[in-house]
Structure 1
Amino acid sequence: MLPTPKRFTLVAGSGEGNTPLTAFDSALLNAGAGNLNLIKVSSILPPQAQYDPNLSIPPGSIVPTAFGAISSSKPGEIITAAVAVGIPEEDTFGVIMEHSGHYPKDEIEKQIKNMVMEASSFRGIPLREIKIAAAEQKVKSCASVFAGLLLWY
């Protein structure tokens, strides 16, 4: 059985590269997650997980991560990725949502906030607050954006 993470942080970044994969790697580095092994997880914040904006994770660690990302090779196109988490009022789990697309940053932040509120409502979880991280990039040649919630122990 895997241990349940007790801490989390939100990160977001953007980057350019010669290929979609190297652009994604550049976005990960810009977000501060480029030297980690990310394992994509679905969208539940563990109970009692504490937010740590300065969370330090050793390089090479295997990190459960809820994330959104998008890449594009169309110069001038706007791409954006966002992640949001609903922090519950009571001592229970929270909901994480990820989204990416061809939207301005302020629009995707509104969309993702509404997604968290709706998903929390489905579960009957009143929220104390919503935290959001987002990255926007105007493509020069080949770009990627990444937004993720990193879970740690």
Structure 2
Amino acid sequence: MRQGLVPKKVFFTSGSGTHKEMLESFEMALRDAGIEKFNLVTVSSILPPKCEIIERSEGLKSLVPGEIVFTVMSRNSSNEPSRRIAAAIGCAKPKDRQADFGYLSEHHSYGETEKCAGMYAEKLAENMYFTWKNERPESTMNISKTAEVDDEGNWTTVISAAVFIL
């Protein structure tokens, strides 16, 4: 049976960054999340069967600078003074983690609190799982990040990510 590039592990991380340039604010958010050293490839929203959820610190030790790393990422940026931005990833874990896949969802918004954005992303993942299996997942979780643009209108970026390890 063909396996392909199926991740064995995943960790969740988030970060925020501010800079006068939009791209550099994104770089600062990646640094805050600890994933700036990798060549990130965004993928869609499946949590593979048998994929172990690990701590960020353990995951980062498994990767090397320059490595091509697959991630499900939510990202939001603004330079509108006082604008609150949010980015969140939701996760729905299947009941049978050995045989079934779960779902990851990306959500980015304006004006929401970190808790609200996280719960919204979590509910999205749960609903995607339900429409596939016609049952609730074993459990759900989320990671989210919010930030507010400063009064000078510097670019602010927030990210949340599920980072896969092959």
Determine if the TM-score, normalized by the shorter chain, exceeds 0.5: yes
In the alignment, is the contact (CA less than 8 A) between 1:75 and 1:142 conserved in 2? no
Q: Which moved more, 1:82-91 or 1:93-102?
A: 82-91
In the alignment, is the contact (CA less than 8 A) between 2:15 and 2:32 conserved in 1? yes
2:102 paired residue number:
94
Is 1:73 the counterpart of 2:75? The answer is no
Residue 138 of structure 2 aligns to a residue whose secondary structure is strand
In the alignment, is the contact (CA less than 8 A) between 2:130 and 2:137 conserved in 1? no
Residue 127 of structure 1 aligns to a residue whose secondary structure is coil
Residue 42 of structure 1 aligns to a residue whose secondary structure is coil
User: Deviation digits for residues 116-135 of structure 1, max 9, x if unmatched?
Assistant: 11100011154222121111
1:58 paired residue number:
64
Residue 82 of structure 1 aligns to a residue whose secondary structure is strand
Query: What percentage of aligned pairs have identical amino acids?
Result: 25
Is 1:151 the counterpart of 2:161? The answer is no
Q: Distance in 2 between matches of 1:136 and 1:22?
A: 17
- Report the CA distance between 1:105 and its aligned residue: 1.1
1:132 paired residue number:
142
In the alignment, is the contact (CA less than 8 A) between 1:7 and 1:52 conserved in 2? yes
1:40 paired residue number:
42
Q: Which moved more, 1:55-64 or 1:124-133?
A: 124-133
Structure 2 unaligned residues grouped into runs of 5+? none
User: Deviation digits for residues 96-117 of structure 1, max 9, x if unmatched?
Assistant: 0011110221211121121011
Q: How many residues were matched structurally?
A: 153
RMSD of Structure 2 on Structure 1 (CA):
1.3
Is 1:24 the counterpart of 2:57? The answer is no
Structure 1 unaligned residues grouped into runs of 5+? none
Task: Look at both structures and tell me which one has the larger radius of gyration over its CA atoms.
Answer: 2
